Chain A
């Protein structure tokens, strides 16, 4: 069983932005989803765990090794897909994977070839393996990124916003691949797309303004919210009045009408109907809390 322990890490950038605010979490095998709006500090946290950035304070240990003191400890067992990445120009997909496989330390040439070919097939890139990666479309490039993250025998895979830019079919394929390998190792997935977490993760955390505001199992979190979410379709003009009167956690347009979700332990009446909560409601309710705390 792999174990990633993060203890009280803090990071403030030179421009004064507090990117990580006393984050502590323990993660074990399985898929762990990190959900949060843009700018919440997800990428900073991911990079910090990948030893690409040092926290100002706090500690991180992976399977008992101190990552901050000895970054090589985690690099040996890491697969990492950054949020944005590029490639060498004029280098084919196969050649680049081979290069990265060597950097990861796969010494046996045959094994390396086998694994690269398998990954290329799994990511549906096999036919394009001789193509130059820099000419890949966004989706192909993202799949390439996943392939490289899986090279070797990673015990911890960090994927930062992996599904951004993927079409539904590609996303599906990606989910399947991750969930297959995510049983015996830690897969840490950051995203701002709630569905990704809902579909894949056994555990999750929500991040906002540098801090972890909620952690748990998605199923349990949804269960906790049951009976507290109320829904109503209103006219656009009435939105302000409702916001004043109720705890409106989300609004969205549905078939031209504004639908609002309200958090309330009791039935607010006034035409509200009970709504079976989803992970999205968990997310929005937490963010709503967070914002009201700051106000």
Chain B
């Protein structure tokens, strides 16, 4: 019987279109996520790690499947009014529920398993590189399905089953399913889950807690695999042990409990208790019966149509807003937007919070509402079209003389009211959050602009959604089609199908505009207006068609409605339609002119073609001897309001080779347009506009050491329809341009090459070796620096100040423009940038250095703190490394229209993004002071590489970034205390362990651009060396490095740094220095047991057993055990382990020598110990730092 019932349920589900649609969708998701989605270098796409990853992520989506299936299975009787019949059959409650649930569960699981099939098939995608696909192991596919997807399905299923049992209401079940999903996402954001790819990892405790509590087990998966090496990721199955096992057990038990509860609560009787009680209305005395008299009607008058429209609109809006589903949606939204906004301000667990700026809040709103709002519109658009039919009031209303215009417009207005209410709610929440944070600078006009920038696309999507719903004869199919159309035209998914051009992206949805506090919406607002006109015309056309095809009455097929279309539209409608088409075409032409005619439209494909063609044509000139720039003079005119600039200037070029130079290959970035170029004594013989290359030939070859002059003139601008290059952000306010990249350069430009190894392989290009020279000992005695003499005059609009490197020697006003003359009094690398904004400026002098800070007047919160942080940094840097080479030091705020850095250091000028530091809320003294860290780091760059500019080869990043990190942590520790410094270093340790395996890991001394190694491991390791040999000696080594290698002395490389370290340290430490800098060495230090006893003299004897393991890894994760022979700190504390790691309550702290994997030792202390640890402050690179300190127990024998 039971088997038959289950079989019946299975047939019921699998016989539905939904089953096949779902299976197809999951096949697609699985395939795309694997074939075109997440990709990690060196990790096979069919490794257990990747398959588990994708299975876990997509299993979130299974919520929706099982929700719909469950609603169908549990409510079909109710809705088809079959309950009476079904419930009267002899089927027992158990048989009934068990079969319904099993059927639902099996069918959902079947649908979901198509994901696995999709992932499996993706390995055979023709465009894949063989290297990406490892050996096929079926277990890799099935295991995650069992361990991750199956319990997740059970979890979702049990919850929606409970809701269905309790409410017997379809909407409630759907919302319940949605609620699980949203709750989960919000929870992930809040708990800083790795799912959300936050830039900073959570603490280890938080990760362990999340691993247990995450009902989908994704956090547990991440916890287990977070430090996996490349090798492990490729070969290892996730193991059902530790937190993952606990997690799976907890949630499976939870699901079963919920199912049992549902079973107990289920009743064959209908759900009376959830019906509201009918109110008793007092009987009124009956008046004399009024007689019915017909009343004249005037349905044709305009007033009547207007009143009908108002009444219908009121009715529609009331029906929506009075419904339970609407209430739930609003609550959900308040929850979502509130937590998103708060999370944005608080910056997660490890970054300092920001002031709740209106600009940041509206950016959050725009981002979050774009998806939520569309989902709500899709849901309600189907409601709008189908509601009256479902309620069966359609025939009554349709038989009235009210016009189709009134019906259509009222439905549309009610539909767009919903996102309107959502936006309004978000604004209220935003203001409440601002007020609660004691922030009163509310920018109401900016809030209101949301209704345009976010609201306009909703108006258009609502028109599209109603149009589709009115065409498709099935509600759910209509919703699905609308969803697909919006996703494909609006989101990144469309990119997979080549839909990237704004003229193909309906309503330009999903964040076309961006907002910056300094620059507002900038030029993008103008493009947005035009795009809205363009799509608005189409949206209006959709509206007209929806109206023209309006379905009134029953059984009127599509063809019949089509026949009536022109009749229905009438003259006005037809005229409007023609106008729409004309507006669509003309605004479209304007946009097309801007995107495709003014300059070539680029796709990824065409860009790659270009790069390949460039490489094939010019690679041969790599070693062609070219002259070097030694002097630069330029007039730079910035036109922020026009988003353009113009440069006129000249170079002095010198032949630094020992042979004559005959031909010069000048190059110019695609961002710049050459207006003029003239080389004295040479003739331009060829211009290759496509690649920005220009050949000059000398009449008399340029002899070694001979100099010539070259004049040039170029312009650069961008167009908001196409977007701007992030490092060429000439914008209305807060421009930042890394302009040295756009000046004429010489010779083959390697930056134009395709760098992605996969794409290179696909295109048959030879492999490039990381593009950086191998580390080798060099004898750089000749002039290794291409430094220049730098002097520029920069002009900008009259309300702005322009800043670049150099001393400001003159400023003046001319022709309503501001001019600034900057001159560098020493040679600098060919590396300079410009910024321009309506700045406020604060300055002070410290140790003879002029400190200046240029900031956006509204972001004045931390100006003094910046200056103080700078002073503290200067004190340390000068006392430890030697004098500062310039007279000025400038901090300059730039708009977030540029990105890719938090701060960037140029000679005597440091540019900082507006949302980093300037708006950090530092009112709480207990928060980490990122401002101090940022300032110290960037200022240290004035020494490294400002003074010691290492050779461009492997290891350069160690001498640049690692040393800046070292200075940063030392200054931070001096300014605050060990506790905050430890916290900062723990963040770096977590970052290193998490990110290192995403590519083949180099040892620190050979590091190239690899932040996990250069920044994170670097800070830890150099700090550890300092701890080993002493700060004095460490800094002595660094001073020596400067003394021997500062410009113009020969530039150093990693070996010179190592030598400097060997020189100051004793022989016994050299091995460890090598271990840490030249190898990949990991430690596993832990206290196995610790207990104490009080001795006769009142002192305490602590006995500890500790493990001290060390192993070396190759870059891919193959481990080799290393014999230990070194010292670690042993600490005994009067506080609990957690506080002990915060550098509190020290009883005893001393280095001990270890040369075994496990050691027993005893320490005598004066006070009663609470905890004991080895390397308590985690100076070593330790995979598990939580077990370094444990509580001490009293020995009881």
Interface residues of A (CB under 8 A from B): 13-14, 47, 50-54, 71-72, 75-76, 78, 80-82, 84-91, 98-100, 102-108, 111-112, 114-115, 117-119, 121-122, 126-128, 130-131, 135, 145, 148, 150-154, 177, 180-181
Contacts and interface: CB of A to CB of B under 8 A. Distances in A.
Contacts of A71: 552
Contacts of A104: 297, 299, 400-402
A100 B297 CA distance: 12
Given A53-B554, A89-B322, A126-B286, A119 B401 contact: no
A102 B393 contact: no
Contact of B295 (A54, A98, A115): A115
Interface stretch (B312-320, B667-675, B844-852, B1024-1032): B312-320
A154 B297 CA distance: 9
Contacts of B401: 72, 75-76, 78, 103-105
A121 B281 contact: no
B286 A107 contact: no
B303 interface: yes
Pairs of residues from A and B, 7 with the lowest C-beta to C-beta distance, nearest first: A105-B299, A52-B553, A86-B392, A105-B297, A118-B290, A80-B399, A153-B294
Interface string B214-254: 00000000000000000000000000000000000000000
Contacts of B311: 98-99, 102-103
Contacts of A87: 391, 393
Contacts of B283: 127
A272 B671 CA distance: 108
B398 interface: yes
B291 interface: yes
A82 B553 CA distance: 11
A52 B395 CA distance: 7
B277 to A, nearest CB: 11
A145 B393 CA distance: 11
Interface string B266-297: 00000000000011010110110111111111
Contacts, number: 164
Contact of A85 (B299, B312, B393, B400): B393
B474 interface: no
A208 B279 CA distance: 45
A52 B399 contact: yes
B6 interface: no
B628 to A, nearest CB: 80
A127 B308 contact: no
5 contacts: A47-B553, A54-B556, A105-B299, A115-B292, A135-B278
Given A102-B311, A118-B293, A127-B283, 17 more contacts: A47-B553, A52-B395, A53-B553, A76-B401, A78-B400, A85-B393, A102-B304, A103-B312, A105-B308, A114-B293, A118-B290, A118-B291, A121-B286, A121-B289, A122-B289, A122-B291, A180-B292
B391 A88 contact: yes
A180 B294 CA distance: 12
B304 A105 contact: yes
Contacts of A127: 281, 283-284, 286
A52 B556 CA distance: 8
B290 A91 contact: no
Contacts of B299: 72, 75-76, 104-105
Contacts of B298: 105, 107
Given A100-B396, A121-B289, A127-B281, A153 B295 contact: yes
A148 B396 contact: yes
B322 A152 contact: no
B316 to A, nearest CB: 9
B300 interface: yes
Contacts of B391: 86-89
A117 to B, nearest CB: 6
Chain B contact patch, size range: 35 or more
A118 B291 CA distance: 6
A90 B553 contact: no
Given A52-B552, A85-B392, A152 B297 contact: yes
B323 interface: yes
A252 to B, nearest CB: 28
A115 B297 contact: no
Given A88-B393, A103-B402, A111 B295 contact: yes
Contact of B396 (A80, A89, A128, A177): A80
B395 A47 contact: yes
Interface of B: 278-279, 281, 283-284, 286-287, 289-301, 303-304, 307-308, 311-312, 314-315, 318-319, 322-323, 390-393, 395-403, 552-557, 560
Contacts of A82: 392, 395-396, 399
A90 B283 CA distance: 20
Residue among A51, A115, A152 with max Cβ neighbours from chain B (10 Å): A152
A153 B294 CA distance: 5
A274 B632 CA distance: 126
B652 to A, nearest CB: 83
Contacts of A80: 395-396, 399
A131 B279 CA distance: 9
Contacts of B293: 114-115, 118
A111 B395 CA distance: 25
Contacts of B292: 115, 118-119, 122, 150, 177, 180-181
Most chain A CB neighbours (cut-off 10 Å) among B278, B283, B298, B303: B298
A188 to B, nearest CB: 13
Contact of B318 (A13, A54, A91): A91
B297 A91 contact: no
Given A103-B311, A103-B312, A128-B281, A153 B392 contact: no
A71 B291 CA distance: 31
Contacts of A102: 304, 307-308, 311
Contacts of B289: 121-122
A103 B400 contact: yes
Contacts of B284: 126-127
Given A100-B400, A181-B292, A89 B556 contact: no
Q: Which of A104, A111, A180 lies at the interface centre, i.e. has the most chain B CB atoms within 10 A of its CB? A: A104
Contacts of A177: 292
A76 to B, nearest CB: 5
Given A86-B391, A88-B315, A103-B311, A153 B400 contact: no
Contacts of A90: 318-319, 322
A98 B314 CA distance: 12
A85 B395 contact: yes
Nearest to B396: A85
Contacts of B307: 102, 107
A192 to B, nearest CB: 19
B297 A76 contact: yes
Contacts of A121: 286-287, 289-290
Contacts of A122: 289-292
A28 B716 CA distance: 82
A128 B400 CA distance: 24
A47 B398 CA distance: 11
Given A47-B395, A53-B553, A105-B304, A153 B297 contact: yes
Contact of B304 (A85, A107, A126): A107
B556 A53 contact: yes
Nearest to B284: A127
A103 B480 CA distance: 33
B399 A152 contact: no
A7 B319 CA distance: 41
A119 B296 CA distance: 15
A88 B319 contact: yes
A102 B401 CA distance: 10
A134 to B, nearest CB: 9
A111 B303 CA distance: 16
A126 B284 CA distance: 9
B324 to A, nearest CB: 10
B560 A54 contact: yes
B287 A13 contact: no
A99 B287 CA distance: 24
Contact of B397 (A54, A84, A100): A100
